[in-house]
Structure 1
Amino acid sequence: MIALTTGPLHEIAILGAHCDDIAIGMGATLRTLTHRYRGLRVRALVLSGAGTVREDEERAALAAFCPGAELEVTVLDLPDGRAPAHWDRIKQALSTFRAGTEPDLVFAPQRGDAHQDHRLLAELVPTEFRDHLVLGYEILKWETDTPHPTVFVPISTEFAEEKARLLQKHYPSQVGRDWFDGQSFTGLSRLRGVQCRAQHAEAFIVDKVVVGFELS
């Protein structure tokens, strides 16, 4: 299997429709990146949850997933499940967010997600981050929309298990959901690990990528 590398990362942008989307979709990758690149600038935008306990959960969780990083989190107050009705506001929020960051890599939901809020955000992100590599993460949930991923990020067993622990610790409002448990999260990461010959991995969808070849 041929691996593609990004080179050193100095800043990343991470986007989610709801508090916990980012942590569910790429928490272990985020933990891996902030461990590998000390002082990494992490700019996060979340569309809903501002002014509620969900915002408090999100800020504490992202801080735990990004130790040592220069973290900046913006949480908006769009109503959950109503993103398509707020297209203009989301587009403007993305434009404002884009103006404040120059990331080496962008993470967002993937276009095939069954939840309309996730899907709309996935569709709009490339309209602002037009010249960036955008990795679309998968969000484990009740719907049977698990994608066929095209990119895999191997993660250590330590970080896979830490992700499961941090999710349950920092999102108590979600623990009552029947799928929100450690077995679900480590089970998926183990499956993705099998698919890229690693113990664990997180998987992503890429719509477009340009490959360059170095001279030997």
Structure 2
Amino acid sequence: MIRLGAGRLDRIAAVGAHCDDIAIGAGGTLLTLCRARPGLRVDALVLTGGGGEREQEETAALAAFCPGADLRLTVLKLPDGRIPARWEEAKAAVEDLRLTTDPDLLLAPRTDDAHQDHRGLAQLITTAFRDHLVLGYEIAKWDGDLGRPNAYQPLTPETAEDKVRLLQEHYPSQRHRPWYDRETFLGLARIRGIECHARYAEAFAATKLTLDLGR
């Protein structure tokens, strides 16, 4: 398996359409990054769920998923399932995020995600973050849209277990969902681990990156 490092990461950004998207798609990667780099700045934006229980869950969850980080979270109140219809507000939120941060890495939904909110947000990201490394995370769902990712972050067994525990602990509003369980999260991580010669991993879609092989 070919391994490429991203160099020193001082600042990252993470965006989600809904509270829990970031944690489900990239929670293990956040744990890995923040544990390795105390003081890492993490700018996070979530477009829906603001002002209620979901925002409270997200605030506590991302604090746990970003231990020791300088976390700055914004949760907005756009209507769930209607982000494409609120394009102007979503675009303004992404552009506002760009004004506040110049990240070394950005974690976002995949552009081919079957959920309209995820896909709409993903399509907005590159309009504001044109010169940044963007990794598109995946979220298992009824639509069956999991594809063939081309970038992997291996997870230690301890980190994979921590991710599952934190998801269960911090998002009680989601426990009633039939797919929201340990088997789903660890099962997908195990499959992605097989694909990159690791026990567990999170997988991403990297649509464009620039190599610097001369250094």
Give yes or no for contact 1:112–1:147 (8 Å, CA) kept in 2: no
- What is the match of residue 180 of structure 2? 180
TM-score of the pair, normalised by structure 1: 0.98
- What is the match of residue 208 of structure 2? 208
Take 1:53 and 1:142, find their aligned partners in 2: how far apart are those partners? 24
Question: Does 1:138 find its partner at 2:104?
Answer: no
Partner SS for 1:7 = coil
Deviations 1:31-68 (A, max 9, x none): 00000111100000000000110000000000000110
Take 2:96 and 2:211, find their aligned partners in 1: how far apart are those partners? 29
- What is the match of residue 60 of structure 2? 60
- What is the match of residue 98 of structure 1? 98
Take 1:64 and 1:2, find their aligned partners in 2: how far apart are those partners? 31
- What is the match of residue 129 of structure 2? 129
Runs of 4+ in 1 over 4 A off after TM superposition: none
Give yes or no for contact 1:106–1:133 (8 Å, CA) kept in 2: yes
What one-letter code is carried by the residue in structure 2 that aligns with 1:56?
Answer: Q
1:214 shift after superposition = 3.0
Partner SS for 1:107 = strand
- What is the match of residue 26 of structure 2? 26
What one-letter code is carried by the residue in structure 1 that aligns with 2:59?
Answer: R
Take 1:147 and 1:73, find their aligned partners in 2: how far apart are those partners? 29
Take 2:160 and 2:142, find their aligned partners in 1: how far apart are those partners? 21
- What is the match of residue 74 of structure 1? 74
Take 2:147 and 2:21, find their aligned partners in 1: how far apart are those partners? 16
Partner SS for 2:198 = coil
CA RMSD of aligned residues (A): 0.7
Partner SS for 2:48 = coil
Q: Name whichever of 10-19 and 135-144 sits farther off.
A: 135-144
Deviations 1:10-40 (A, max 9, x none): 0000000000000000000000000011110
Deviations 1:91-112 (A, max 9, x none): 1111111100111000100011
Aligned-pair identity (%): 57
Deviations 1:190-210 (A, max 9, x none): 100000000100000011111
- What is the match of residue 193 of structure 1? 193
- What is the match of residue 149 of structure 2? 149
What one-letter code is carried by the residue in structure 1 that aligns with 2:209?
Answer: V
* Structure 2 unaligned regions, length at least 5: none
* Structure 1 unaligned regions, length at least 5: none
- What is the match of residue 39 of structure 1? 39
Take 1:75 and 1:126, find their aligned partners in 2: how far apart are those partners? 20
